[in-house]
Structure 1
Amino acid sequence: MATSLHERALRCLAQREHSRAELARKLGTLGSVEEVSAELDRLVELGLLSDARFADAYVRAKAARFGASRLKSELARRGVGAEQIGLAIADNCPESEFERACDIHRRKFAAAPADAREWARQARFLQGRGFSTEIIRRVLKEHPGDEPA
């Protein structure tokens, strides 16, 4: 059983980076908790499994579409520690949160909000992408039509 556990772990890691918690969940049905934990320890020792590397890859792939709050919550949900999350976001987001929000807003919406209803719709979109209220207000103030009436 250990061989199939190891093979499955390598197959998962060959497809993409995984956090330790994700891989443990995927391998959980193939062996006991002790066997899975031992296999994960072995992969970490071999340098094949790294939460830090997973967090870096995840942030690089998703930063152009999501705000820091969404990135943090998604990484935490996948079992990455807070310190590693902070480092990954700091290292892999060259532009500021405001610049990313402006870029996402420009790609999604052709025009600035014309009325309070449209302002709220655009604000909800940015909020769903993980941007803070302060950033959303700054992005939507940059356009004529400013704030809700």
Structure 2
Amino acid sequence: MRVFETQAEAKSAAIGLLARREHSRKELRDKLSARCEAVDLDSVLDELESKGYQSDQRFTESFIRMRVGQGQGLIKIRFELQRKGIDSELIASAFEEADIDWFELAADLYARKYRTVLDAADYKEKGKRMRFMSQRGFNAAQINYAIEAASEHE
């Protein structure tokens, strides 16, 4: 593993990572810190942010679009963003700007995953389906809406 000894090398490595995809500041710090022991990583990251190469705002918007496209819910996406070091206020404003109908997203995912109508007496299957939706990051109200919407279409 190559160690970066100058700020220029660390900056170059960070730009290389950012060229592949958006990264949060924390992600870049985590990826570069083991290889930049003699470099002031904060100043490198500050410079990248001031020049517009790295933006937590842009990362958050991109991440939300990607995860929504994968059929993930608000709870899971918020948790992952927090783990990646994104501020709670930034997360909240990004979700507000995205203007996503979580109920319709849940209904769409449910309809794609489960083609058969749920038998109301089959509690084991209902529990299984609810756990799947919950693991994808949807709350109980969204899950119930999705199940009811699917049963109405049949």
Aligned partners of 2:32, 2:110: CA distance in 1, in Å? Answer: 39
What is the match of residue 5 of structure 1?
10
Partner secondary structure for residue 3 of structure 1? helix
Q: 1:91 is aligned with what amino acid?
A: E
Aligned with residue 139 of structure 2, among 129, 132, 143: 132
Q: Is 1:41 aligned to residue 42 of structure 2?
A: no
Alignment gaps of 5+ in structure 1:
none
- Contact 2:29/2:41 (<8 A) preserved: yes
State the identity %: 30
Runs of 4+ in 1 over 6 A off after TM superposition: none
| Cα deviation 1:91-147 (Å, max 9, x = unaligned) | 2244x11000000001111112221111111101100000001211222233449xx
Q: 1:79 is aligned with what amino acid?
A: G
Alignment gaps of 5+ in structure 2:
none
What is the match of residue 111 of structure 2?
106
Q: 1:45 is aligned with what amino acid?
A: S
Coordinate RMSD, CA, aligned = 1.7
Aligned with residue 91 of structure 1, among 80, 97, 100: 97
Partner secondary structure for residue 40 of structure 2? helix
Aligned with residue 118 of structure 1, among 101, 122, 125: 125
Aligned with residue 84 of structure 2, among 73, 78, 82: 78
Q: 1:124 is aligned with what amino acid?
A: R
